[in-house]
Structure 1
Amino acid sequence: MLETSEKTNLLEQASYKYSLQDVAEPNLYRDIYDYESVPKVAFNHRRVPMNMPTDVWITDTSFRDGQQSMAPYSVKQIVDLYKLLSKLGGPYGIIRQSEFFAYTKKDVEAIEKCMDLGLKFPEITTWIRANKEDFKMVKKLGIRETGILVSCSDYHIFKKMKMTRRQAVDYYLETIRSAFDAGVVPRCHLEDITRADFYGFVVPFVNEIMDLSNEAGIPVKIRACDTMGYGIPFSEVALPRSVPGIIYGLQHYAGVPSEYLEWHGHNDFYKSVTNASTAWLYGACAVNCSMLGIGERTGNVPLEAMVFEYASLRGSLDGMDPTVITEIARYFQDEMGYDIPPMTPFVGENFNVTRAGIHADGLMKDEEIYNIFNTKKLLNRAPGVVISKTSGASGIAYWINEHFALEGEDEIQKDDPLVLKMKEWVDEMYADGRTTSLSKGEIMDKIRELTGGQMPSKSVTAREEQK
């Protein structure tokens, strides 16, 4: 049968209908995942069209997937971070939703306190056990949407659940009916989709979900979960690892509208951010993230990364306030005792810090030479340097100017007497066998010694020499 597509305005075949393949043995894709070697990337040279939706957004799982990977957050910490999320997402709700556990009294208290704030965004959603009592509890709280687990690879269906594919589908559909009966929008988490039989299980299963949704008159969300980080963003990669193929297939063959399609990835192979962006580009409105990327194993898609991916792809932050990213990072460090790896983009201690003297010399002449963008404006973090054996006079001068906020005429140069004395001291330290960089406290103490306790400025260094 031919139908005119509303998206392309072209006649397209609409007769594709995939039936559930209730196989006797699991399809574990052993040619790709043999477990004894690195998973392979297979190509079939099939392309699907790029189809970015009119609106795309970010959803958050910091209080669900993120919280599974740390000590449980206190109610106060959840409320504080939720407020920061709202501030970061801005008035248009680019950070559209935030996902909470709803298992314990503490979980419910945190949800209620966040709801009492009256913030429009992010909308509070939940993750619950698949039973009727939990659905009723969510409804009573006034939650509109909740996540439920519908694992879709044969690794889970056969090995963990000990079911056939048909038994799994029937079990899942009964759970989804319970959500509809409670008047709650179910968000179906298609766990392990990058190891699933896409046309033999995923598409026919999602077709049944969509039929049930139409029958109930209640929408359903479909979250494609790259649970093990196996997703590949490249064009022409074969399923089940192809991110473009998964998103296209869920739209084109399972009938999931973009606004109900969401990507949830992990970073096991360093591809979480690229895969999330690819999901946007090929038709998913939502990408699911966590603050600082905290999550299972190697973590989830870092929310702060997708803020900048959004701005890169759309050409605008659309009301988001990225300086809040620095506030969030400091909160995790200062209030929660979380150690952020220093090289982490946007939030790590060293992300815009250089140790090389030649780089520091460039920063002094024009910070744009060695800084990725105006980090002072966008993240409230000026570029910095670390003093070590490779810093040279330029690095020392830059460090002093940065830490004492010396600008314009007050800036000191690399030939300043204070800088030259400091360089002498630094060189001596490393000549004696030191291998680590100098701490802020050590540098400050030496500056006080050399200046007699006076704050460094041109008025007490170079200007005095000029007299």
Structure 2
Amino acid sequence: MSVLLGNRRFRFFDTTLRDGEQTPGVSLTPVNKLEIAAALSDIGVDVIEAGSAVASEGEREAIRLIADAGLAAECCTYVRALNQDIDCAAEAGADSVHLVVPVSDLHISKKMQKTREEVHAMAMSAVAYAKERGLIVELSGEDASRADQEFLAMLYRDGIESGADRLCFCDTVGVLTPERATEIIPPLCMAPLSIHCHNDLGLALATTLAAFKAGASCSHVTVNGLGERAGNTPFEEVIMSLETLYGYKTGIDTKKIYPLSTLVSRLTGVPFATNKPIVGTMAFTHESGIHAHGLFRDSRTYEPISPESVGRQRRIVLGKHSGSASVKAALTELGYSPNPRQLEEIVKRVKALGDEGRRVSDTDVMAIADAVMLLECKPIISVKQFTVVSGSNILPTASVTMEVNGEEVTGAATGDGPVDAALRVLQQSVASAGDIRLDEYHVEAITGGTDAMVDVTVKLRKDGRTITSRGARTDIIQASVEAVVTGMNRLLRELDEKRRTDTD
């Protein structure tokens, strides 16, 4: 146990389904909320703020589903200091309420248009009423960072006397600094105190950790840091900081962090930044030759935590910074064993591609290796023609004529869009040569304008083996077909070589 945090038990209150859903453009169905809540409970969070029961019938349905699901986590709902909010929470089956009252003069006068005395009276009445309804009460001071701390302390103290079980300090606009938190949190710990931070100035994680050190016993968090404006304190960052930097065992199943993050990203439609800590695409991706060389010897050289500890895997990508160690590792994974002279030439060519600003895919590496090592790579699949038809009243349809292992194959397929239809017909047409699955599809515009060059990257899988491939055209359908066909040829190369050997 870290001496900085003491021998205390910290709790985690997840508000992804309430504060996180207030991210502009995010709207979750009751079934979506239940799926996320089940994952949150499974990973080990203590409290799930499932939404605001008074907001809509859909919210009440979601809270009822979560409350009735038999989850280990406590089901909580946001309420104002109003009896109707509390009634909705109780009737929806919530275990507890996050009772939020404004405490700064700015919020009291401008938002509520009331006095401190009126807000205090409302808060005490609401706490007492919630207890009468059999609810656990977490009394929360909104905009506490900018409040008169004497008034806040009085509100907390009287709230406890009125029956509040827990307290919460809300840094509503992210202006609390870690240094200030260490000063003002200790005298407010009259009951179990939560810290609720927003990340407007990028201090949410640091302030949350400082509040823990100062006596807070619970943090309000959201998965991936979702939330209004710049979001809330990210769940995954708090957990891994406590585990890694402070040696504190959170009780969270950290190997489920990445699956949880991807689930929330998928259901909310909010992707995380590529360089986001813990869960971003680049968090465990390495290119630099010096870094990669150190990683192969000991991963701790350039990684503070192992990717496996959060349910991820390390990726080594190749480019102009790549050295012999990383290129050799990629080649070994792809089934190549170059001699030192060949490896030197392959590294040189990989760097040349990187200097052109290109993303170096597995297919690029294999093509280079084939050329350098003088391997014949006869195409197994070639496209003779393809046509895609799509329109406002037409189901997108693609037809293709291909040559597969020397035999002409013609096929057609429909899809959700022209690209989907094209990729479906390709997969169907090569079925005789092998079952190839499309695991990932990514497209980005390289240049601007209506004639933009698009770069399509795909990840294909066959018999447990995966490969990435790339296509670049001004036509997204042509680029997609190019990427898939090139990747399919690479995946089927071993099968073709075996077929030719058997023939010989």
1:289 Cα deviation from its structure 2 partner: 0.4
Q: C-alpha distance in 1, partners of 2:339/2:34?
A: 47
Asked if structure 1 preserves the Cα contact closer than 8 Å seen for 2:185 and 2:215, the reply is: yes
Q: Residue 74 of structure 2 contacts residue 96 of structure 2 at CA under 8 Å; is this kept in 1? A: no
1:139 to 2:90 alignment: yes
Task: From the superposition, tell whether residues 189 and 415 of structure 1 become closer, same or farther in structure 2 (CA, over 3 Å).
Answer: farther
Contact 1:88 1:322 in 2 (8 A): yes
Q: Deviations over 1:27-83 (max 9, x none)?
A: xxxxxxxxxxxxxxxxxxxxxx97746211111000000010041112232222222
**Number of the residue aligned with 1:325:** 257
Unaligned runs of 5+ in 2: 378-489, 498-504
Aligned pairs (5 A) from 1:58-137: 58-69=12-23, 70-89=25-44, 95-101=45-51, 102=53, 103-120=55-72, 122-137=73-88
Q: 1:414 to 1:380 in 2, by over 3 A?
A: farther
What is the distance in 2 between the residues matched to 1:316 and 1:220? 25
Describe how 1:168-317 pairs up with structure 2 within 5 A. Answer: 168-199=119-150, 201-213=151-163, 219-234=164-179, 242-251=180-189, 256-257=190-191, 260-312=192-244, 315=247, 317=249
Partner of 1:392 in structure 2?
A: 323
The superposition leaves residues 124-170 of structure 1 with CA deviations (integer Å, 9 ceiling, x where unpaired) of 11113443233223223332311122111111112222222222222
Return the alpha-carbon distance in structure 2 between the equivalents of residues 110 and 448 of structure 1: 56
Alignment partner of 1:156 out of 107, 114, 117: 107
- In structure 2, the partner of 1:427 is 351
Alignment deviations for residues 359-405 of structure 1 (CA, whole Å, 9 cap, x no partner): 112122332222223222x123232222221223333233445x65x
Amino acid at match of 1:221: R
Which fold has the larger relative contact order, with Cα–Cα distance below 8 Å and residues 6 or more apart in sequence?
1
8 Å contact kept, 1:352–1:384: yes
Matched, 1:366 2:298: yes
Which deviates more from structure 2 when the two are superposed, residues 269-278 or residues 107-116? 107-116
Decide whether the 8 Å contact of 1:58 with 1:306 is kept in 2.
no
Q: For 1:428, give the aligned amino acid.
A: A
Q: Give the equivalent residue in structure 2 for 1:357.
A: 289
* AA partner of residue 68 (structure 2): D
Once the two structures are TM-superposed, the CA of residue 305 in structure 1 deviates from its matched residue by 1.3
Separation (CA, whole Å) in 1 of partners of 2:135 and 2:47: 15
Cα deviation for residue 445 of structure 1 reads 6.3
TM-score, normalised to structure 1, is 0.72
8 Å contact from structure 1 (residues 147, 188) kept in 2: yes
Distance 1:112 1:167, change over 3 A: closer
Shift of 1:231: 1.4
Determine the structure 1 residue equivalent to 2:429.
none
Q: How far off is 1:349 after superposition?
A: 0.4
Task: Give the SS at the match of 2:178.
Answer: coil
Structure 2 counterpart SS, 1:396 = helix
Identify if the C-alpha distance between structure 1 residues 288 and 440 changes in structure 2 by more than 3 Å, giving closer, same or farther. Answer: farther
Amino acid at match of 1:226: D
Unpaired runs of at least 5, structure 1? 1-48, 90-94, 214-218, 235-241, 461-467
Please give the alpha-carbon distance, in whole angstroms, between the structure 1 residues aligned to 2:34 and 2:251: 22
What's the secondary structure of 2:42's corresponding residue? helix
**Aligned partners of 1:278, 1:117: CA distance in 2, in Å?**
35
Q: Please list, as runs of the form range in 1=range in 2, the aligned pairs for 1:332-343 lying within 5 A after superposition.
A: 332-343=264-275
Written as runs of structure 1 = structure 2, the 5 A alignment for 1:2-21 is: none
Give the drift of 1:175.
2.7
The percentage of counterpart residues that share the same residue type is: 24
Return the index of the structure with the highest Cα Rg: 2
Give the 5 Å matches for 1:11-50. Answer: none
Amino acid at match of 1:96: D
Q: SS state of the match for residue 173, structure 1?
A: helix
Aligned with 2:16: secondary structure? Answer: strand
Q: Which of 287, 290, 311 is 1:380 aligned to?
A: 311
- CA distance in 1: counterparts of 2:69 and 2:341, whole angstroms: 53
Give the Cα–Cα distance (whole angstroms) in 1 for the partners of residues 81 and 363 of structure 2: 54
SS in structure 1 opposite 2:185?
helix
TM-fit CA distance, 1:300? 0.7
Counterpart code for 1:152: V
What do the CA deviations read for 1:261-292 (whole angstroms, capped 9, x no partner)?
11101112222112111222221111110001
Aligned residues: 375
The 3-state SS of whatever aligns with 1:223 is strand
- Comparing both structures, which one devotes a greater share of its residues to strand? 2
3-state DSSP of counterpart to 2:162: helix
Over 3 Å counting, the alpha-carbon distance change for 1:333 and 1:445 in structure 2 is farther
SS in 2 for 1:225: strand
Alpha-carbon distance, 1:426 to partner: 2.4
3-state SS of paired residue (2:99): strand
437, 457, 461: which one pairs with 2:359?
437
